[in-house]
Structure 1
Amino acid sequence: MSDIATAPTGSTTAGPGPVSTADTALVRRRIRRWLWLFIVCLALSGLTAFPLQTETALLVRAMNRSGLGDALPALDAWVSRVGDGVADGYGRHPFLAYGTDWLAFAHLVIAVAFWGPLRDPVRNVWVIRWAMIACGGVIPLALICGPLRGIPLFWQFVDMSFGVFGVVPLLIVHRLIRALEWDQAVRTHHDFARVVPSP
């Protein structure tokens, strides 16, 4: 029997494509690489929420020194406003930073959830699907809450880009997992057919 997983004769179920035994390990490595990329980016985006006051101050100085503010006055005005707001808010009310601390923690906790797909991607494919839904939810959140909070439209697009770019590795991983899932299903069918002969 061939090592290539193909649909049984007469089957109406279409799979995402055959995966050979030799290719299965390669597919798993690709899944892990894309997942690690997503995990690292997610963790970094969370960690950057801890030193928010320092980061906004550095960003304001970078805009002033680079001259980028002259070319992009709207961006310069927004960065300066955010820098002033964070410095004023955190200076007078340092407990406000506690909210962004929890935001950072949430990112790290979500990153830990991907340990399941790293170990067993087929069984934990639901984590990938849940993450894709979360990426999709970024767009309506930005469009609804952005205007309510006085966020400029161009910055709403920056926020939405996290969901748009974040879903790309997840879609790739999901497709690879579907290939593994199809391969396992076909192999199970073949193994069962060997042990239990047809009447």
Structure 2
Amino acid sequence: MNTVTRIRLWLLVFVAGLVISGVTAFPLVAEVRLLAGIVHALPAPPSLTVWVDRVHDGLAVTGRDYPFVAYGTDWLAFAHLVIAVAFYGPFRDPYRNVWVIEWGMICCVGIIPLALIAGAVRGLPLGWQLIDISFGVVGIVPLLVIRRLIGRDRPASARW
């Protein structure tokens, strides 16, 4: 398998993660209801059960009484989908669009302070913040692989 094909496969993994994250931001109430059912069916720690129930109640009440607030998560979902589209450039020509990969890596690193600061300000448990941080930690892996592949085999015509 040549380098460009390997890069494209890794890009597809990364873009799939963005699309899945985006699409799943739309049905939050149903997803958290499902999660609550799972947590209640398992021998989960009581603190986790209480937190998931609280999140579900908050989403359900907000959705019922203030449905316009969900518009914010609709934009979050849209942003994930738009960011995924940005990676079409590296898919077409990874060497000339390496900057998109590097931008994605910066974004993945930026998730860490955002989750820790905003999570603390909003009163989220540390475990929830760590779940959010994992998106950046997991997301950067394919981008690091791609960046390494680009740097190793970058043709002279694609250099500045």
Report the TM range for the smaller structure's normalisation.
over 0.9
Superposition deviation, residue 133 in structure 1: 0.2
Superposition deviation, residue 62 in structure 1: 1.7
Aligned match of 1:47 = 23
- Distance, in Å, in 2 between the alignment partners of 1:77 and 1:153 is 15
AA at the equivalent of 1:134:
C
- Distance, in Å, in 2 between the alignment partners of 1:127 and 1:100 is 24
1:185 to 144, 156, 159: 156
Aligned match of 2:36 = 60
2:65 to 92, 95, 103: 92
Aligned match of 1:159 = 132
Q: Point out the structure with the larger helix share.
A: 2
Aligned-residue RMSD, C-alpha: 1.4
Q: Deviations over 1:82-119 (max 9, x none)?
A: 00000011110000111100100000000000000000
Aligned match of 1:76 = 49
TM-score (norm 2): 0.95
Superposition deviation, residue 67 in structure 1: 2.5
Superposition deviation, residue 68 in structure 1: 3.0
- Distance, in Å, in 2 between the alignment partners of 1:154 and 1:54 is 22
- The percentage of aligned residue pairs carrying the same residue is 56
- Distance, in Å, in 2 between the alignment partners of 1:143 and 1:61 is 28
- Distance, in Å, in 2 between the alignment partners of 1:143 and 1:169 is 23
- Distance, in Å, in 2 between the alignment partners of 1:47 and 1:33 is 21
AA at the equivalent of 2:64:
G
Q: Deviations over 1:18-67 (max 9, x none)?
A: xxxxxxx6111110000000000110000000111111111111212x22
How many residues align? The count is 158
Q: Deviations over 1:119-138 (max 9, x none)?
A: 00000000000000000000
Unaligned residue ranges in structure 1 (runs of 5+): 1-24, 189-199
- Distance, in Å, in 2 between the alignment partners of 1:68 and 1:149 is 27
Aligned match of 1:138 = 111
AA at the equivalent of 1:80:
D
Instruction: Give secondary structure in 1 for the equivalent of 2:26.
Output: coil
1:105 to 69, 73, 78: 78
AA at the equivalent of 2:14:
F
Aligned match of 2:12 = 36
Instruction: Give secondary structure in 2 for the equivalent of 1:95.
Output: helix
Unaligned residue ranges in structure 2 (runs of 5+): none
- Distance, in Å, in 2 between the alignment partners of 1:32 and 1:67 is 39
